[in-house]
Structure 1
Amino acid sequence: MFHGYTGKILRVDLSSGKIWIEKPDELFYRTYWGGGCLGAYYLLKELPPKTDVFGPDNLLIFATSILTGAPVPGLARHSVMAKSPLTEGIGESQAEGFWGVELKKAGFDALIVKGKADHPVYIWINNGKAQIRDASHIWGKTTGEAYRIIKKETSPGVRIALIGPAGENLTRYASIVNDLIYPNFRMGLGAVMGSKKLKAIAVTGEGKIRISDADTLEKISDDYRKHFIEDSVPKMQYDYGSAGAVAMVQEDGQLVTRNFLTGVVEKWEDMPGTEGYRKFIQKNQGCFFCPTNCKQIVKPVKKNGVELEGIYGAPEFDGAVALGPNCGITDTPVILKAYELCNSYSLDPTSLGATVSFAMECFERGIISEKDTNGLKLNFGNKEVLLKVIELIAQRSGIGDILADGSYRAAKVFGKEAEKFAIQSKKKELAMHDPRAKASLGLGYAVSPIGPDFAVIEHDSDFNFSAPQKFIDEAGPVGIYERLPAESLSDEKVRMLYNLQLFWSSLEVICGCIFALAPVRYMKIRHLVEAIRAITGLETSLWELMKLGEKRLNMFRVFNLREGFTFEDDILPDRMFQPIQSGPRKGQKLDKDEFNKARSLYYEMMGWNDRGIPGKGKLSELDLGWIEEYLPTENE
């Protein structure tokens, strides 16, 4: 028996109130490891096709991996999965912090919730035991208010995953907020919690993670902790948090601004990544056993007419850009307040900001008017309106009820060519990295089974002609040997996407953090493989990791095909094929014919046919022959 897992999965049926423990065998863990593969296994096995995302049959899965909680940086994440309310395909969102580690210490590798309670509840997991508790008294409260109450009712050291009013009101991009500052941001999985009347999951545990070779693991961890700060990327994160790259992309002309119309702002004092931004930061905070401390805590201050509580953390890159320049706003206190409201109400700041910026463009183009917006002047740059609209969305009130469904569905309601201005793919708003400046990432957005996300692959800019030589050297094990232009979609760039996507997908299976373990971060790939061997005792390799990533992508792909997705969903919005309007990258755009050719080549590399359907041979090679029955027929 190898080490690293507890061998137990906690099952809860909220409809019946039944709680039981499932014990998969060793082969299951050896085959699926955890994270995205574990979640996809249960969704494919147990979720009926075409399940209502808000119905009791939708599964809500919280999964760790066989590595989670080991004393080494970068292995503190957990995955939440369900059929997504936003895309209506497979949904996965990972969060860092401590919650997943605590679930493992409590004795479980995963929690699977089904059914729907007849009144608000929360689940309390304590050292191998679980109970369903009444949550009527905290339903309707913000995450901060509910967090304080649950902590008093359970344990001072408890870790809590919870939703606020946006999740309760089924906002399609509602998040799940862990310990107030570590959200599972994307895919609307907080709305699945809300549909089940599940306010929170509180966990505490005192168990130990069994390690095969503690001495080797300690050496790897010590090396990271002593020397990570010598690398440029970890140092930037340590100094400025994960939003530290904002100033850099502004200078490069690829800062997403005004609904992707342009790539620069005229002026932004105290933007993230500058010394002026530091005055808003109280302290840095890390995740379990990680010294990078890239999570930041905002000071509780009053400035520019807003009051910051200082308990919900500071935005990451995507949140800062989505709520800021993409809405035409460069007032840092307002952006911090908007992010605070997102975590308070449990809203994904990326989809929220992108949906609001879409509405702002529609307002300025005359597609909607004050009659449609509750009298609000929804112009770009209107700071007060941004904060007001966030509350309306969370409560599903007025115009907020329409915007709570995301830009794709809102465009259907607005009509008058509004769909042109919804910057989405698979009904999910794009992450805040412009594909016109990062072409492989753009293709990654399009073919990603969970829709456009910043973490689908390592970004093109890390391997272009201005990237440090160290980045090229460290990416050699995954087949990246030369610098390539970030704006290109050449055959070589598609190969880069394919290789990097398999590796990053594997990190979603092992619940590994891309900010610690990706090729350009401090921990080298060979050290990661050594750490896995030391934790588990398995004789594994980078090859097996890459195959795990490929297995996850194919399982996700087949789930979506079963739900009716086709290759025609692997697209980018029209704006990506239109030029950036101003700044250093003025005129830059993607070529649609080149994009379609690159997509076809990607399908070939994946072993899929020209409709993006995996072949029997590919599924069998990945030990996934059992999912062949879910593939569409030739006539479908």
Structure 2
Amino acid sequence: MSKIGYVDLSDEKFTEKALTDGEREKFLGGRGLNVYLLLKNSMPGVDPMSPENPLIFGAGMFSGFFGARYSVAAKSPLTSVLGESNAGGYFGPELMFSGYPHLVIKGKAEDPVYLWIHNGTVEFRDASHLWGMDSIETQEVLKEDLGQDVQIACIGQAGENLVKFACVRHGLKRSNGRTGIGAVMGSKSLKAVVVRGTEPFTPSNRRKVLDVLKKFYDQVTGTRLYPISSTYGTLYVYVLQHEIGGLSIRNHSKTYSPKAYDLEAETFLEKYKTRDVACRFCPVHCTNQHRAEVDIEGEELIEGEGPEWYLMGGFGPNLDNYDWDLILKGNDLCNRYGLDIGSSTALIGWLMELFEEGLIDKPTCDGIEMNWGNKKAVVDMLHKIAKREGIGDILAEGWQHAARKLGIDEDITEIPNEAVHAPNTKGLTIESCFDCRATSATALGEATSNRGYDHLRGRASLEYMGLPAEFFEDLIGEPVSNDISSWEGKVPLAKWSQDLLTIMDAVGICKFWSQFWGPNHLGFEEVSDIISAAFPLEVSPSELRETAERIWTVEKLFNVREGKYGVGYDMAPQLYYRPIPSGPRKGDRIDQEEYRERVIKYYEERNWDKDGIPTKSELKEVGLEEFQEIVVKNG
């Protein structure tokens, strides 16, 4: 029987509770169980930085034998809505083996501590000697002390200094990012969670599990994408995104530029890559380790993991940079400090645009020339943000706080989505690598994501692949246009994509194994087969769709309870209503009123009311009657 561990940092107390079969069946694990525990264990209006805001770690249901992913949840200090993030590596399986696949952490330690969890034993240990170290140094010291087999989730200086977009970090590059979970961890004076376990996973039917996993291993490694992903990682997406006119260049001022071809994945492989790295149990090995000599702050040798194309675009064209040195330096600093890459690069791009337009000046930026492409300025600003020095102290609070402090009137709006210079939804900036205003299902799926604009929660990747209408009729029950800007079939496709990604996060399977990455990858049917082989549960593909809807609804209920709901919060960023100025999709944009109609249709698909509040009938249908009070109070 799986157990949930409850940690009180204030009193250094630990209790446990058995995970019931009903909870497992309804929410699976990982993200699914995390958000349920968050809603159950937090009070309405809780201050994200207070001891009462729970910090919840959860291994995916399959972590320990097939998946390797885990999630961390809390109320976000950046957006004041749902904060939840998923990561890979080795921490998730080890958390499962340690005896407590889910941890609910409350309170605040009097002095810095770390948790040492091993085979059902939980210890509170002094972390004063670790405070002030970056995330990589922290892990090195803990492994020297506790052994090289331990796995660690920790914070760097950004989390310690309560930067509101700080990450929880694991390994050289794995991050629970975007929503400031690292700041929540820092507010509790919790430097790290260290896990080690030898408690084996015992499947219901060992032979059947082995057969199913072999079948799906062959399915994933037999796709045409496999040799590309296993060689380039995600870097090849950069070229594809540019070819369709979907990059962010100069903070979304453009989506296409011939200069963007100067950044080539082949250059990285030839000059900097040293070897492939994989998460536990994964044959794709999409992570690249690298070594590079850079000269931005003086000559230095950088060794690390990554980058993803996400960072390549964010520190590249988004800042008008087309050299690998800044990309690799930015990768190293964000990983060490524990800064979220998407928020950091979006914030610096925003600052550069304001500087170029004359809305802020050099003295405002502590004497730094924030011109496009200024590499030293980017690096200096990362240091300032992580250390909360000068203007960095303002930026560390997030773009909304910075807009008010700097007097950027066009970005001071009642509903964050309406900001002009900082494209976002629910206060979470668009990831700075891409621009999706030409893609209807993706724009809708990402904008309506419950944690804010999010490709990992709402991207309708199949929309990009030119698939025939018949494929979608089999998949979601109706035809979908293969024109990325058409709305035909796109609302149900957006919902289906969100549901698929939700299930993958709950069971702990990487999205690169799923139909998020390609039509021949794993979907609801395959997940159903794994559950029936490994657990004493029978969950059909249609029941998994209902499970995804249940989890998504719990997330929405959290935001409703916090007063963050209504069509305005699910509208696309203001940027998306302006025509694309150049490139292959020149002139494309989203019509604002048409988009509003699609949001209402999306609500109908989810059985929510016109304000995006789940109806009582929806709660009954997915077995969430215990939360009806939230609907009654806000409906």
TM-score with structure 2 setting the length: 0.94
Give 1:49's aligned amino acid.
Answer: P
**How do residues 353-372 of structure 1 correspond to structure 2 at under 5 angstroms?**
353-372=345-364
Distance in 1 (CA, whole Å) between partners of 2:127 and 2:596 is 50
Q: Measure how far apart 1:121 and its partner are.
A: 0.8
Say if 1:318 and 1:276 are closer, same or farther in 2 by CA, change over 3 A: closer
CA distance in 1, matches of 2:61, 2:247: 38
Q: What is the Cα deviation at residue 308 of structure 1? A: 4.2
Provide structure 1 residue ranges, at least 5 long, that are not aligned to the other structure.
1-5
Matches within 5 A, 1:129-148: 129-148=121-140
Residues 27-62 of structure 1, C-alpha deviations (whole Å, 9 max, x = no match): 222222112231222222221111110000000000
8 Å CA contact 2:158–2:166 kept in 1: the answer is: yes
- The amino acid of 2:25's aligned partner reads R
SS at match of 2:259: coil
**Contact 1:406 1:428 (C-alpha < 8 Å) held by counterparts:** no
CA, structure 1 residues 101+522, in 2 after alignment: closer, same or farther (shift >3 Å)? farther
Structure 1's 206 and 278: CA in aligned 2 closer, same or farther, altered over 3 A?
farther
Q: Which residue of 1 aligns with 2:448?
A: 447
Contact 1:240–1:278 (Cα < 8 Å) also in 2: no
Distance 2:476 2:288 in 1: 32
Judging changes above 3 Å, is the alpha-carbon distance between structure 1 residues 275 and 226 closer, same or farther for their aligned structure 2 residues? farther
> Using a 3 Å threshold, how does the CA distance of structure 1 residues 252 and 475 change in structure 2: closer, same or farther?
same
> What is the letter of the counterpart of residue 502 of structure 2?
S
Number of the residue aligned with 2:302: 309
1:374-523 alignment, distance < 5 Å: 374-419=366-411, 420-431=420-431, 432-460=433-461, 462-464=462-464, 467=466, 473=471, 476-479=474-477, 481-490=479-488, 492-518=489-515, 520=518, 522-523=520-521
* 2:414 corresponding residue in structure 1: none
8 Å CA contact retained: 1:40, 1:552 = yes
Secondary structure at 1:310 match in 2: strand
Aligned position for 1:9: 4
3-state DSSP of counterpart to 2:466: coil
User: Matched residues in 2 for 1:96 and 1:86: separation?
Assistant: 23
Instruction: Quickly say closer, same or farther: Cα 1:303–1:288, change in 2 above 3 A.
Output: same
**TM-aligned CA deviation for residue 451 of structure 1:** 0.7
**What's 2:540 paired with?**
541
Deviations 1:165-213 (A, max 9, x none): 1001111110111122211122110000000001111111111111122
Q: CA deviation at 1:227?
A: 5.6
Post-superposition shift, 1:145?
1.3
| Equivalent-residue separation in structure 2 for 1:433 and 1:629 (angstroms) | 39
Partner residue of 2:212 out of 198, 220, 227: 220
Contact 1:78 1:511 survives alignment (8 Å): yes
How do 1:167-316 and structure 2 match up within 5 A? 167-226=159-218, 228-268=220-260, 271=263, 273-302=265-294, 307-311=300-304, 313-316=305-308
SS of the aligned residue for 1:232 comes to coil
- CA shift at 1:463, angstroms? 3.1
- Encode CA deviations 1:396-419: one digit per residue, 9 max, x unaligned: 111111111222221122224341
Deviations 1:370-390 (A, max 9, x none): 111000011111111111111
Alignment partners' CA distance in 2, 1:292 and 1:474: 26
Write the letter of the residue equivalent to 1:588. D
Amino acid at match of 1:581: P
Verify the 8 A CA contact 2:460 2:493 in the aligned structure 1: no
Superposed, 1:144-155 pairs within 5 Å as: 144-155=136-147
Q: Using the alignment, how far apart are the partners of 1:610 and 1:528 within structure 2?
A: 33
8 Å CA contact 1:301–1:309 kept in 2: the answer is yes
| Corresponding letter in the other structure for 1:513 | C
Letter in 1 for 2:508: C
Distance in 1 between residues matched to 2:224 and 2:590, nearest whole Å: 30
1:512 CA displacement: 2.2
Counterpart contact for 1:234–1:521, Cα < 8 Å: no
The answer as to whether partners of 1:271 and 1:277 remain within 8 angstroms in 2 is no
State the Cα distance separating 1:267 from its structure 2 match: 2.1
Is the 1:164–1:346 Cα contact (8 Å) retained in structure 2?
Answer: yes
C-alpha distance in 2 between matches for 1:355 and 1:276: 26
| Farther-moved stretch of structure 1 (207-216 vs 152-161) | 207-216
Between stretches 549-558 and 60-69, larger displacement belongs to 60-69
Contact 2:31 2:506 in 1 (8 A): yes
Aligned to 1:595: 595
Cα pair distance change 1:418/1:168, threshold 3 Å = farther
Conservation of the 8 A alpha-carbon contact between 2:460 and 2:497: no
**Long gaps (5+) in structure 2:** 412-419
Partner of 1:111: 103
Q: Supply the distance in 2 between the matched residues of 1:294 and 1:478 (Cα, whole angstroms).
A: 29
Counterparts of 2:21 and 2:256, CA distance in 1: 52
Query: Structure 1 402/265 Cα, relative in aligned 2: closer, same or farther at 3 Å?
Result: farther
Query: What percent identity do the matched residue pairs reach?
Result: 33
In the alignment, the residues of structure 2 paired with residue 39 and residue 475 of structure 1 have an alpha-carbon distance, to the nearest angstrom, of 33
**Residue in 1 aligned with 2:606?**
606
Partner of 2:624: 624
Change (3 A) 1:552 1:278: farther
Does residue 162 of structure 1 match 2:154?
yes
Aligned amino acid, residue 18 of structure 2? K
Q: 1:554 to 1:571 in 2, by over 3 A?
A: same
* TM-aligned CA deviation for residue 237 of structure 1: 1.5
CA contact (8 A) 1:306 1:337 kept: no
Q: Which residue of 2 aligns with 1:583?
A: 583
Following TM superposition, by how much is the alpha carbon of 1:585 offset from its aligned partner in structure 2, in angstroms? 1.8
Show CA shifts across 1:534-586 (max 9, x none): 11132211111111110111111111111111212112221111122222222
1:90 maps to 82
8 A contact 2:472–2:480 mirrored in 1:
no
Q: Call closer, same or farther: CA 1:283–1:566 in 2, change over 3 Å.
A: same
Cα distance change on mapping 1:386 and 1:580 into 2, 3 Å:
same
- Select which of 51, 74, 83 maps to 1:56: 51
Q: For the Cα contact (< 8 Å) 1:8–1:110, is it kept in 2?
A: yes
1:3 aligns with none
Match of 1:37 in 2: 32
CA 1:310–1:557 in 2, change beyond 3 Å: closer, same or farther? Answer: same
**Structure 2 SS opposite 1:299:** strand
Match of 1:433, as an amino acid? F
Shift of 1:276: 4.7
The one-character-per-residue Cα deviations of 1:443-494 (angstroms, maximum 9, x if unpaired) are 122221111111123435x335x5356x97488334465443211234x211
The one-letter code of the counterpart of 1:547 is E
- Distance across 1 between alignment mates of 2:269 and 2:392: 31
TM-score by length of 1: 0.94
The answer on whether the counterparts of 2:447 and 2:454 sit within 8 Å (CA) in structure 1 is no
Query: Contact between 1:122 and 1:202, CA under 8 Å: does it hold in 2?
Result: yes
Residue type at the aligned position of 2:491: V
What is the one-letter code of the residue matched to 1:309? Answer: I
User: Residues 472 and 508 (structure 1 numbering): CA distance in 2 closer, same or farther, change over 3 Å?
Assistant: farther
Give the AA of the match of 1:29. Answer: R
> Per the alignment, in what secondary structure is the counterpart of residue 118 of structure 1?
coil
Is it true that 1:19 corresponds to 2:18 in the alignment?
A: no
Q: Is the 2:579–2:589 contact (alpha carbons within 8 Å) kept by the matching residues of 1?
A: yes
Q: CA RMSD in A?
A: 2.0
**How many residues end up aligned between the 2 structures?**
622
- 1:421 is paired with a residue whose SS is coil
Contact 2:31 2:60 in 1 (8 A): no
Which of residues 58, 62, 65 is equivalent to 2:60?
A: 65
1:496 counterpart SS class: helix
